[in-house]
Chains A and B, each alone.
Chain A
Amino acid sequence: EADIYQTPRYLVIGTGKKITLECSQTMGHDKMYWYQQDPGMELHLIHYSYGVNSTEKGDLSSESTVSRIRTEHFPLTLESARPSHTSQYLCASSTPGTGRYEQYFGPGTRLTVT
């Protein structure tokens, strides 16, 4: 059983608010990822990190930002939430080693911006 946690699980917030979605893993994984997924749609990578102080944008453009100050923690921040940010946000981490692509996903945060 993978140990990756996301909080909150559900968040309803008004337009213009600043929010931070938390993601933590206790497996010591160097690689961590943020995906965005609308209901019934594909997952899209929005951010990834290969280690502390390493962050990169994914293929889907996002107004969110991330930080990686500690190995186990990879929070995602939206400075000013808008209704277009309404979606599910999934955090994942992956095992080390070349050729290993087993990613372990958290339960997700379902964000609704009103």
Chain B
Amino acid sequence: DAKTTQPPSMDCAEGRAANLPCNHSTISGNEYVYWYRQIHSQGPQYIIHGLKNNETNEMASLIITEDRKSSTLILPHATLRDTAVYYCIVIGAGSARQLTFGSGTQLTVLP
């Protein structure tokens, strides 16, 4: 599975959009981009995933560049409860049996 690179930390003002970037320059054609988050001391929570097209659900939007080498997770109106570590994971559609969580981005939403 392709390796991902994320900034270690970001701050965002409450009520503003939080834009979390992820680089995955070695992604291959059948690999998906998944985003999870982990609030302190809790289990990770699935947020969204995509292959080529931009995706939106009730939690967030995922913007994938045309060359698929990077993506951005957007939380449109960040709240204090969105403070968490956000993980970008690239995973193939084949035999992968686990999620490999890297170090992620610590998002802190400020009041």
Q: Which residues of A contact B (CB under 8 A)?
A: 33, 42-43, 45, 48, 56, 58-59, 88, 90, 92, 98-99, 101-108, 110
B2 smallest CB distance to A (angstroms):
14
Check if B21 is an interface residue, CB within 8 A of chain A. Answer: no
Q: CB-CB < 8 A to A103: which residues of B? A: 44, 46, 99
Q: CB-CB < 8 A to B97: which residues of A? A: 45, 48, 56
Q: Which residues of B contact A (CB under 8 A)?
A: 32, 34, 41-46, 49, 89, 91, 93, 96-99, 101-103
Beyond A33-B98, A48-B97, A107-B43, 9 additional contacts (C-beta under 8 Å) are A42-B101, A43-B44, A45-B97, A92-B44, A99-B32, A101-B99, A107-B42, A108-B41, A108-B43
How many inter-chain contacts with C-beta < 8 Å in the A-B complex? 47
Q: CB-CB < 8 A to B45: which residues of A? A: 105
A42 smallest CB distance to B (angstroms):
5
Q: Among the listed A42, A90, A98, which residue makes an inter-chain contact with B102, where contact means beta carbons less than 8 Å apart? A: A42
- Tell me what chain B mostly uses at the interface: helix, strand, loop, or mixed: loop
Q: CB-CB < 8 A to A101: which residues of B? A: 32, 34, 49, 89, 91, 96, 99
Q: CB-CB < 8 A to B44: which residues of A? A: 43, 90, 92, 103, 105
A42, B91: Cα distance in complex, Å: 17
Inter-subunit contact B98/A48 (CB<8 Å): yes
A74 smallest CB distance to B (angstroms):
14
- 28 residue pairs of the A-B complex, CB under 8 angstroms, read A33-B98, A42-B101, A43-B99, A43-B101, A45-B97, A45-B99, A48-B98, A56-B97, A58-B98, A88-B41, A90-B43, A90-B44, A92-B43, A101-B32, A101-B34, A101-B49, A101-B89, A101-B91, A101-B99, A102-B34, A102-B46, A103-B44, A104-B46, A105-B43, A105-B45, A107-B43, A108-B42, A108-B43
